[in-house]
Amino acid sequence: MTAFFDRLADRIAEIDSIVSVGLDPDEERLPAAVRDADLPRWEFNRRIVDATHEHAAVFKPNAAFYEDSDGWRALEKTVEYAREKGVPVLLDAKRADIGNTSRQYAEVLNSVDAITLNPFLGRDSLAPFLDRETAGCFLLCRTSNPGGADVQELELADGDLVYERVADLASEWSADGNRNVGLVVGATTPDELRTVRERVPDLPFLVPGVGAQGGDAEAAATYATATNGAGLVNSTRGIIFAGEDSDQSYADAAGDAAKDLKERLNQYR
């Protein structure tokens, strides 16, 4: 199989979209139309995938929304269905642990195309993922949440900030290995996003934070893409729950929201 970032660059070129459609089916927000289904989260996702797949460079389910027995079944069906539609799946799991545990975690890459990882435990904790030549590995670098600066913007002895060092290390690990490492950099901090892009032009970014978190879509689209043509801007609630308080069906609203975001981002890239 071809390397993930090559496949991603091809898909982005083919559908002219860098949109990552997040699949976080919060049970409290599921519409009445799916609540009586055997697996409501799967039923919801199936219709969202049908409505948005032509605009989705990837689907990004966040594992947090599936961590119970019905959830695991719903996730498995969702992943299979998305891939049947030809859309790669980026599992947002923010994994990494000591060696034998990480080796176990990395087995999930037999079922999905790419994953998000937490670099806090260092290179050996990431190795079981990075060693997979055909997988995409996005390391948290500068996250979109309000406390993202607490640790990530601490200053190191040489004046660099922690998130800048993470970007440098990721670049090194990618170049020394399978060139399969990207970074997660939020759209809520556009200056930092630009800083990281200038620092590591070769690493694809996953940029979350547009839509519900109010991040900067122009900066996201401007800086997401690496020299190899791969890069993603994610929106989750802004797409999958676009139909709340609207006259449209939730699937139609999601389809329109994904298309609108695609077109908006395309103005800037």
Which amino acids are annotated catalytic?
94
Among 25, 71, 88, 208, binds ligand OMP (CB under 6 A): 208
Cβ closest to ligand OMP, residue 40 vs residue 238: 238
Contact 129, 135 (CB under 8 A): yes
- Return the H-helix or E-strand segment holding 168: helix 162-176
User: Which residue pairs, CB below 8 angstroms and at least 24 apart, start in 237-246?
Assistant: 237/22, 237/24, 237/211, 237/212, 238/210, 238/211, 238/212, 239/21, 239/22, 239/48, 239/52, 239/211, 240/21, 240/22, 240/23, 240/24, 240/25, 240/44, 240/48, 241/29, 243/31, 244/29
Among 102, 144, 180, 195, binds ligand OMP (CB under 6 A): 144
237 lies in the binding site for ligand OMP (CB under 6 A): yes
- For helices 162-176 and 123-130, angle between their N-to-C axes, nearest 10 degrees: 40
Total length of the chain: 269
235 lies in the binding site for ligand OMP (CB under 6 A): yes
Please count the residues of this chain forming the interface with ligand OMP, following the rule CB under 6 A.
Answer: 20
Cβ closest to ligand OMP, residue 178 vs residue 235: 235
Which of the ranges 51-59, 101-109, 157-165, 208-216 carries the binding residues for ligand OMP, by CB under 6 A?
208-216
78 lies in the binding site for ligand OMP (CB under 6 A): no
Site string for ligand OMP, 109-138 (x = CB under 6 A): -------x----------------------
Q: Which residue ranges make up the site for ligand OMP (CB under 6 A)?
A: 22, 24, 62, 92, 94, 116, 143-144, 184, 186, 208-209, 211-213, 234-238
